[in-house]
Structure 1
Amino acid sequence: MYKNYVITSETICHVLRIIWDAIQGKCKRDIREPKKRHWLLYAYPKHKFQHIQNIKLLLGLLVLYIPFPLFWTLYDQQGSRWIFQATRLDGVVGSYRIRPEQMIALNPLFILTLIPIYKLIIYPILEKLSLGTPLRQITIGGILTGLAFIAAFVLELNIQKYESPCQNIGNNEAHFRFYNVMPCELVINFTSDNPKFNETIVKLDPLDVFEILNVKNFDEKLYYWINFKIISTIKKCRNVTGNTQFYRGFSVGLVYYQRGSINKKSQDNDWFIEDTSCDISGNAKVKFLRTMNRLQKLELKTDKVSFEIPESYEIEEYSIPVGKYKIVINDNVTVHCDECETVNFKSGEVTNVMIIQTEDDGYQCKTFQLTGPNKIHMLWQIPQYILITLGEVMFSVTALEFSFKQVPASMKSILTVIWLCSAGIGNLITVVFVKLNIFQHQVRFLQFNFFQFNLNLFHFTGVGISHVRRLISVPSAKITELLVSSSIPTTPRTVLGSNLLIWIDMLLFAFLAYNYTNNPLIDIQPRSPKSPEKLPKSASDNDDVE
């Protein structure tokens, strides 16, 4: 048999009703009546005085929660921004590769380790340094959280240092590459309707690549035409004249290859958008550009696994797990690429593999790397995970413990709702920042400074919180007298110091916003494929190979 227990604590609806009645009572009061000390008293005697007192204590405590959404804005980016950062790091440790999404598992492990260390070592030390009060611990936790994002910022700068130029395509420029996937030497004449593009004549051997980076002067145009005239130095390859488009903000590739036998003169050219960003899974992104006498089976093999590349002349992109592979055609012919028996695909690498079949049914293979592999190890993220975990224990755990000790038992459920709502608002702030793209190059760093600005609200709210604590400590018989006659104890020095710190931090935040908006250093947005074509295929999502 089930028992229905009567709800003894205030609910959200009850709290909102008292607040609404207090607002209505204040608005409808007679001007001739003496003004009450607190606006919530206008809900009395319609509601019990104890309930009004509980809500007043709750509202006084909520001032402390003003910076909380900004803490969650930073903290919850472990599951988004930091994972995207990890995709540009090398996770290989011996024979095992750490995946980007696995790094977030460090946070709960560090929490389980640090909580007892805090209780036994850190908190006693803070007590001796007169930093053991909850508000001071919360402030230290916020500072540690900010330091975690400074560590992430420094790591981002080092990642940027090793990135390939083709990864950073500006909004007013484009990249262009021509791939000679033919067993012929070609002489090509390039012209364009872009006034900054000079006529260029190049000579390309088989499996050579010609690239033009940072084509500028797009102004308001979406794309320009590039014209090409291909002249073969031998008769077996046809001369071709044509044109293609290269788009603003994109990297465009043009490949010259054949479909079927050379004797049938089925040479063709095709253009495609090259996505030079790292694969989100940390795998290598690979395209296969091939000239075959006929469609043939192509496989990537190791001792443990093999991936089959479909028989097609279409230019597809594949996500290949990190490892060393043999390129095998028709189950029996191993193709040596770059004069090596295996091709080593590394984490974060973006590579095009060019294969041609000669008239004597031999094969030639060469790789062209668009984006280099990740050169900084993923374990360099550990310092920022340690800092944010230290900040979480001191900020989140201390704040929650402090809050629950300050409110009556009947208000604890309401406080839990407010706590969860602050986390939701923090995530919403992140969404708004990313969607508006206001600080596209320094989002995390500016959020840290904005968070630092709100930390100074603790100076402002500390007086109010001390007043709430004084209310809770008095006997219940004196609550009425204290509620009616009390006022927040302030001193000119306290108010002046708080306001001065807030104004200094506001000026600092304005300076940083202007500086980093006009002088962007890095792009920390998660990179997504820029191609308007269909999404790339994945060869396999199996485990990594050696």
Structure 2
Amino acid sequence: MGILESLMAFPYQVWFILGNEFCERFSFYGMRSLLYIYFKREHGMPSHISRAIQHAFNGVAYLTPLLGAVMADSCFGKYYVILVGSIFYVLGHVSLSAGALPFFGLVVRQVFDYVGLLTIAVSTGGIKPCVAAFGADQIPPEKAEARSAFFSYFYMAINAGSVLSMFLTPQLRDISCAGSTTCYPLAFGVPGILMLVALILFVCGTCWYVRKPPARENLAFTIIGCITLGLSRKICGKKPLVLEEDDDPDEALRVSSTSSYSDREIGPRMMVGAGPKAKLESKTKSNLQSLADPRRFSGKAERAESAQRSIGITGNNDEPKKTDKKRMEQTKEVLRKRCQWLDGAAPNYSEMQIWGVKCLLSILWVIWPLCFFWFLYDQQSTTWVDQATHMNGKIGHFYVNPETMQMFNAVFIIIYVPVCKYFVYPLCEKVIRLTFLRKLGIGLVMAAFGFFISGYLQLAIDYNATIRPDDGHVFVQRIGSGPNLTLYNYKNTTEEVFITKRRRQTLPGRYVLDPDAQNSTIELALERDEPKTLQAYVFALEAGRLNSLQYNFAQTQELHETRVILFPSFDIAASNWTYYVKGHLLKGTIKNGTIIDLKHTFWDTLEYTIIMGPNCTEGFKCKYRATVENLAGPVHVLYVEKSGVEIVQVMAPFALHVMWQLPQILTITFGEVWLSVTGLEFVYDQSPPFMKSMMQAIWTLTISIGNILEVIWSMINPLAGKAAIEAFVYGGIIIVVTGIYVVLACRYQYIEGFPTVEVAEEEDEAIGGDESSKTEEAKKLLGPKGKKANKPETSQESTIVEEKKTKKKSQ
């Protein structure tokens, strides 16, 4: 099918859903890309607190998809979950934008911010598992190619929205507004407007949407009930109930039931014996067939498979296959050996359900180490952004913001997926068989290499950075046209320190200009063993009077723009001298310590000119001017006296270019393709048909747990301030986790197909009737090749009984 034909094959309402997804992803990624820097600079929070907030938001956002899937499948349906979730999504953006307004107090702003972030996290997680499935519902099943094309365009909408937003929102942030050099209200407001557009687009298609009713059966409660019952009976030492042919199932259930587990607590009783001679008859028409049949979740399962196929995944078990008897017996043998304590949940839960829960627990046991991959991966939006703030983003007139580097991850994913499918995987298959678990292991190793590269890069950044003074020390530097300055140690007057022009020195303790003049004492720092905020001093000697400028060295290290600190002489400071930056909105009165931050823009100027003079305004000729090269990270002190101006660089610009981050981003993105895409395929392939949808949602729990681990680490981090060592430790952790994962993976036994079809045929024989009637009934239930067939209109729902065949033909 050509591109034009595939577009024409879509129903009208599909375009509303594609537009909705593009706007929603723009909204989410655009807002999220700014959070770390926003809390660090606007709220003045330490780096570890900003990291914790960012990862806590990610953790909630990836925890709630499970809740959204349950609500959509069991209660309200996908349409209403998307609608209500989108409304709260918009309200969350409104709250976050309000928190960015500088007119409110700090406490009020933080309340708005936290409420907005929590609302957005819950809303985006709630609608995440529903939108793609709802879009596929709009395309008739007979249009298989159109449905496959839909997922391709859906995937493109996600990546287009994320790439565009991570490029655009940092540029919006750098616009000056509301009396500030930044404009976070605009940067958060535009994603909020896009989310409002997403809501409007979704509502516009209401009249045409195909809305399938929810199943009204909560699979999550069934799983929890089965695990709880099996575990409790294991602890109590009870064995699985085995019934003989002539046993009364009602009496057996009455005896096996306890007051602790009523029907309502453990869910509907699916009357299927667990023993080899079991024969039970359902007490109610509780629809085991619909629960065990792949059609129970066939809509989502097929949509997930189509989505995976659109990005290069082909599952090994897209529909239940009627395997040969030997293979089926091997599969059943594997399932029986897994988590045998779960067999105690019979007969309250069917053998099919117990097997499904066994598959779920086995998958969870082997994928839990993958949480540590996401523990590292999502630090791209925090730790690596912080690293980028200490690098040079200038490319000629263009400037690359630190947050913009996150965009390359999405770009590389778009490139990597087809490259891996058509080139990398086939080449690797010639050397070694690439199983699911081997691919996942490679993804873990790639994450470790990504952080090793990050650690080496951080070492290079630290090597080229301005040296920080030790605790109890300060930087001292002289400026101006006066004579050199001599300082004497206050405690030991025989020690002299000569402060010469333009030479920066590191000094501890207290010093005086003259050992006999105690009133001229200058306290440069506290005692050496008492850590304090890092300080730096610049001195000028004017006609025997000492003029000094003090600035916070720690704050200047966090800059990625050019900073100029004004240092006027005594007579200039006493007069009404003003300044303005040519071609810029910055202007003001010259005072000691006045800071001019020259922000970068997407199309950047190569240098700035600062013009000064008495009552100097733009349009008038002013006598004094200084030109500053527009680089990333330098700090200049501009000394202004009537004889002229002098500019001295007290901190060097960042030496390494931000594009040196590309190797580590390439590496971890490569690992993401191997791990994330394969992980979705693995849980889909190895889960039973009626749990495929649930397992796709459970997969996101690994992402959530990884971010929660990062929150905990941020609060107790013993390596704070040692970014290079921290990166190597992260890589080492992943190597250790990979070793654990390999042990678990080696013990995992794959299953090839799930015994759904065979069970359905056995159930059909249990219903009774001659061979022809059984064949007809099976066709009605399963349709050709196990696909969903139309439900008979003239008959009520069949009573379902599952049993192990023990009668011989002679009987």
Q: Same fold (TM over 0.5)?
A: yes
1:212 alignment counterpart: 505
- Equivalent residue of 2:629, what SS? strand
**Native 8 Å contact 2:562 2:599 kept in 1:** yes
- Equivalent residue of 1:368, what SS? strand
**Native 8 Å contact 1:336 1:365 kept in 2:** no
1:305 alignment counterpart: 584
1:486 alignment counterpart: none
2:378 alignment counterpart: 76
* Post-superposition offset of 1:257: 7.0
Pair 1:327-2:536 in alignment:
no
- Equivalent residue of 1:67, what SS? helix
- Equivalent residue of 2:391, what SS? coil
| Residue identity in the other structure for 1:382 | L
Pair 1:465-2:748 in alignment:
yes
| Residue identity in the other structure for 1:113 | I
2:232 alignment counterpart: 24
* Post-superposition offset of 1:25: 1.4
**Native 8 Å contact 1:278 1:350 kept in 2:** no
* Post-superposition offset of 1:23: 1.7
| Residue identity in the other structure for 2:675 | F
* Post-superposition offset of 1:20: 1.5
Matches within 5 A, 1:408-419: 408-419=688-699
**Native 8 Å contact 2:568 2:592 kept in 1:** no
* Distance (Å, rounded) in 1 between the aligned partners of 2:431 and 2:689: 32
- Equivalent residue of 1:328, what SS? strand
* Distance (Å, rounded) in 2 between the aligned partners of 1:317 and 1:16: 60
1:62 alignment counterpart: 364
- When structure 1 is superposed on structure 2, of 444-453 and 149-158 the one drifting more is 149-158
Pair 1:229-2:513 in alignment:
yes
TM-score normalised by structure 2 residue count: 0.49
Larger helix proportion of the pair: 2
Compared with structure 1, are the counterparts of its residues 288 and 433 closer, same or farther at alpha carbon in structure 2 (3 Å cutoff)?
same
1:452 alignment counterpart: 735
> Which of 289, 302, 305 pairs up with 2:567?
289
* Post-superposition offset of 1:8: 4.5
Cα deviation code 1:175-206 (max 9, x no counterpart)? 2325556x64364433245x8x97325366xx
| Residue identity in the other structure for 1:92 | K
> Which of 91, 94, 99 pairs up with 2:401?
99
> Which of 681, 687, 690 pairs up with 1:407?
687
Pair 1:365-2:574 in alignment:
no
Compared with structure 1, are the counterparts of its residues 266 and 202 closer, same or farther at alpha carbon in structure 2 (3 Å cutoff)?
closer
Cα deviation code 1:222-277 (max 9, x no counterpart)? xx5x242379xxxxxx997133251435432345579xxx99x9976564433365
* Distance (Å, rounded) in 2 between the aligned partners of 1:352 and 1:230: 26
* Distance (Å, rounded) in 2 between the aligned partners of 1:372 and 1:59: 55
Pair 1:381-2:661 in alignment:
yes
Matches within 5 A, 1:41-60: 41-60=343-362
**Native 8 Å contact 1:174 1:249 kept in 2:** no
- When structure 1 is superposed on structure 2, of 396-405 and 46-55 the one drifting more is 46-55
2:639 alignment counterpart: 354
* Distance (Å, rounded) in 1 between the aligned partners of 2:686 and 2:711: 32
Larger strand proportion of the pair: 1
* Distance (Å, rounded) in 2 between the aligned partners of 1:44 and 1:427: 37
* Distance (Å, rounded) in 1 between the aligned partners of 2:696 and 2:592: 56
* Post-superposition offset of 1:62: 0.8
Q: Compute the RMSD of aligned alpha carbons.
A: 3.6
* Distance (Å, rounded) in 2 between the aligned partners of 1:3 and 1:431: 39
> Which of 152, 158, 163 pairs up with 2:460?
158
Matches within 5 A, 1:144-543: 144-166=446-468, 169-170=469-470, 172-177=471-476, 179=478, 184-185=482-483, 187-193=485-491, 199-202=495-498, 208=501, 211-213=504-506, 215=508, 226-229=510-513, 241-247=520-526, 248-254=531-537, 271-275=550-554, 277-280=556-559, 282-291=560-569, 292=572, 293-301=574-582, 304-308=583-587, 310-311=588-589, 313-321=591-599, 323-329=606-612, 330-331=616-617, 332-335=621-624, 337=626, 342-357=627-642, 362-369=643-650, 371-440=651-720, 441=722, 442-466=725-749, 468-469=750-751, 472=754, 476=758
1:489 alignment counterpart: none
Compared with structure 1, are the counterparts of its residues 275 and 285 closer, same or farther at alpha carbon in structure 2 (3 Å cutoff)?
farther
Identity of aligned residues (%): 20
* Post-superposition offset of 1:335: 3.0
Cα deviation code 1:426-473 (max 9, x no counterpart)? 11222322322223431221111111111123332224432x425847
* Post-superposition offset of 1:59: 0.3
2:414 alignment counterpart: 112
* Distance (Å, rounded) in 1 between the aligned partners of 2:239 and 2:354: 23
* Post-superposition offset of 1:211: 4.2
- Equivalent residue of 2:748, what SS? helix
**Native 8 Å contact 1:9 1:410 kept in 2:** no
| Residue identity in the other structure for 2:364 | L
Compared with structure 1, are the counterparts of its residues 58 and 422 closer, same or farther at alpha carbon in structure 2 (3 Å cutoff)?
same
Cα deviation code 1:84-138 (max 9, x no counterpart)? 1112222211211111111111111111112111222112112222232222222
Compared with structure 1, are the counterparts of its residues 154 and 417 closer, same or farther at alpha carbon in structure 2 (3 Å cutoff)?
same
* Distance (Å, rounded) in 2 between the aligned partners of 1:473 and 1:136: 26
- Equivalent residue of 2:591, what SS? coil
* Post-superposition offset of 1:39: 0.9
* Distance (Å, rounded) in 2 between the aligned partners of 1:97 and 1:316: 26
Cα deviation code 1:255-306 (max 9, x no counterpart)? 5579xxx99x9976564433365335x21233211121513111222xx435
* Distance (Å, rounded) in 1 between the aligned partners of 2:212 and 2:455: 55
Consecutive unaligned residues of structure 1, counting only runs of 5 or more, are 216-223, 232-237, 481-546
* Post-superposition offset of 1:363: 2.2
- Equivalent residue of 1:243, what SS? strand
- Equivalent residue of 1:315, what SS? coil
**Native 8 Å contact 1:9 1:409 kept in 2:** no
| Residue identity in the other structure for 1:114 | Y
* Distance (Å, rounded) in 2 between the aligned partners of 1:184 and 1:459: 70
* Distance (Å, rounded) in 1 between the aligned partners of 2:431 and 2:231: 45
- When structure 1 is superposed on structure 2, of 420-429 and 391-400 the one drifting more is 420-429
Consecutive unaligned residues of structure 2, counting only runs of 5 or more, are 1-206, 243-274, 276-335, 601-605, 763-811
- When structure 1 is superposed on structure 2, of 38-47 and 242-251 the one drifting more is 242-251
